[in-house]
Amino acid sequence: MKDDNRFASRETRMKASEIRELLKLLDQPDIISFAGGIPDPALFPADAFRRAFDDALAGAAASGALQYSTSEGHAGLREWIAGEMARIGVACGPENIVITAGSQQALDYLGKLFLSPRDTALVGWPTYLGALQAFSAYEPNYDRLEPMGNRAPGDFAWQAREKGGAVKFAYVSPDFANPTGETLTPGERERVLDLADALDIAVIEDGAYQALRYDGEAVAPILALEIARKGDIEKCRTIYCGTFSKTLSPGLRVGWVCAATDIISRLVILIQAGGLHSATINQAAMNAVARAVFGEQVAKVRSVYGARRDHMLAALQREMPEGVRWTKPEGGMFIWLTLPDGMDGAALLAQSLASARVAFVPGGAFFADGSGANTIRLSFSCAPEAMIDEGVKRLGDLIRRAAG
């Protein structure tokens, strides 16, 4: 359409995901892909889901599974999630849980709940691309969140006022973050809470990868730390977003938000307006499968992904030329590479697809200001060891040639 004035101003802020666009190009069987941050489908508990859907559609149960449901979500699933949250240190009840269509939908609803045009969201540099996509629709500004930085809270507030709005929340993915794989220390998590208290803002804690720890000591979620400070989830400003996408199934699109009931009730109103509720039968099946195999499934994916992470780290150590640095994550799905100064990850990807036939994600997509050109993200979750060996060797050779 030539007349762009027909569209809302927010439409200009909504960009296609570079990652999802890239995945469309990877059907060719000769491409080795480290691009998609997706679970290995060979590990899905398909038999457990088959039984769960059969049961959901058997007899009288079918009428409930195929019917409209409450906007809060499946009661049994919310109860199970509350128990799982308690297991990781977050004391809460089912009333503190609302079901969403994956944690991505939760981020969109939270952007809608908190952000007016020109408000400021504090995010990592880099941060999860999907969060930037979700928030950008509501026309915010972004400022750089560095938990151990020296900026005074008043500086964040002043910068936000200069841009015509206010600071509304800090968004963090504290465990094995996408894209860097890095984990915030307990001290860094406490500093996020200190900043949020000083600014009187929310903390959005993205726990998508929390269950995928392969070694090292578990760190309490930010929400758990805040409950320890304040004694009750109802007094907390942290909003925890969880998902089954990285453990049981991404295709069913089942996630959740855990927060004080004031936040949950406001999200329920947004869900009623935006989609009524998440798919009833998917929630019923997820409840059955989570209760039956969650612990076993998490142990299985941890074993497989942990071995693949170790193999990729060894391959990087063996094949990367001098001047390339990378993170060493304790869990998750990603390793973050910093290329030599002056090298461009997007240009390197174009060369790689043309010659080396190795796919990855250029790092600039994860920066709110488009910086980070000399970074790339590699995912190991869907890469068997032989593929890792060959792909990292090709990539190392390509970087060596590009560096001259």
Please check whether residues 107 and 77 belong to one and the same domain: yes
Q: What's the DSSP call for residue 374? A: T
CA atoms of 76 and 291, how far apart (whole Å): 10
* Spatial contact of 248 and 290, defined as CB atoms under 8 Å apart: yes
Structure tokens at 268: 């329920």
Tokens of 109: 């609803």
Cα(first)–Cα(last) distance of the chain, in Å?
45
Q: How many Cβ atoms sit within 10 Å of the Cβ of residue 274? A: 15
134 assigned to some structural domain: yes
The answer, yes or no, to whether residue 64 has pLDDT greater than 80, is no
| CA gap 357, 286 in Å, rounded | 37
- In the chain, the number of structural domains is 2
Tokens of 100: 């969403």
Distances in whole angstroms, Cα of residue 141 to Cα of each of 94, 209, 373: 34, 26, 21
15: confidence class by pLDDT, cuts 50, 70, 90 = low
Residue 203 · residue 192 · CB < 8 Å = yes
Assess whether 136 and 266 both reside in one domain: yes
Do 60 and 187 sit in the same domain of this protein? yes
55, 98: one domain: yes
Question: Which pLDDT band holds residue 255 (cuts at 50, 70, 90)?
Answer: very high
CA 284 to chain centre: 24
Note whether residue 60 is domain-resident. Answer: yes
Contacts 24+ apart (CB under 8 A), 317-322: 318/392, 319/392, 319/393, 319/395, 319/396, 319/397, 320/392, 320/396, 320/399, 321/396, 321/399, 321/400, 321/403
Q: Where are the beta strands (DSSP E) in 14-145?
A: 32-33, 97-100, 120-123, 141-144
In this structure, are residues 145 and 172 in contact, taking their beta carbons and an 8 Å threshold? yes
Nearest Cα neighbor of 253 from 223, 285, 293, 276 is 285
pLDDT at position 153 is 92
Classify residue 2: in a domain, yes or no: no
Domain end: 293, 315, 345, which one?
293
| 92: amino acid identity, one letter | C
Q: What residue type is assigned to position 67 of the chain? A: Q
pLDDT attached to residue 144:
95
Determine if residue 370 is left, alpha or beta; phi over 0 gives left, psi from -120 to 50 gives alpha, anything else beta.
Answer: left
**244 and 358 together in one domain:** no
Q: Which domain holds residue 163?
A: 46-293
**CA angle, corner 135, sides to 129 and 136, nearest 5?**
85
Cα-trace Rg, the chain: 21
Share of the chain above pLDDT 70, in %: 93
CA 374/CA 352 separation, integer angstroms:
15
Q: Is the pLDDT of residue 119 over 90?
A: yes
CATH code assigned at 28? 3.90.1150.10
Instruction: Strands of 183-234 (E only): list them.
Output: 202-206
Domain boundary, last residue among 277, 293, 309: 293
Q: Has residue 24 got a pLDDT over 70?
A: no
The conformation of residue 366, written as its DSSP 8-state character, comes to G
Task: Judge if 328 and 260 occupy the same domain.
Answer: no
Burial label for 271, CB within 10 Å (0-12, 13-18, 19+), is buried
Confidence of residue 333 (pLDDT cuts 50, 70, 90): very high
Q: For the chain, what's the residue count? A: 404
Whether residue 225 is found in the same domain as residue 328: no
Q: What is the pTM of this model?
A: 0.91
Domain endpoint, select from 293, 309, 324: 293
- Residue 182 and residue 62 share a domain: yes
* CA pair distance 338, 363, nearest whole angstrom: 9
- Residues 342, 361 within the same domain: yes
Q: Which of 16-20, 223-227, 329-333, 385-389 has the lowest mean pLDDT?
A: 16-20
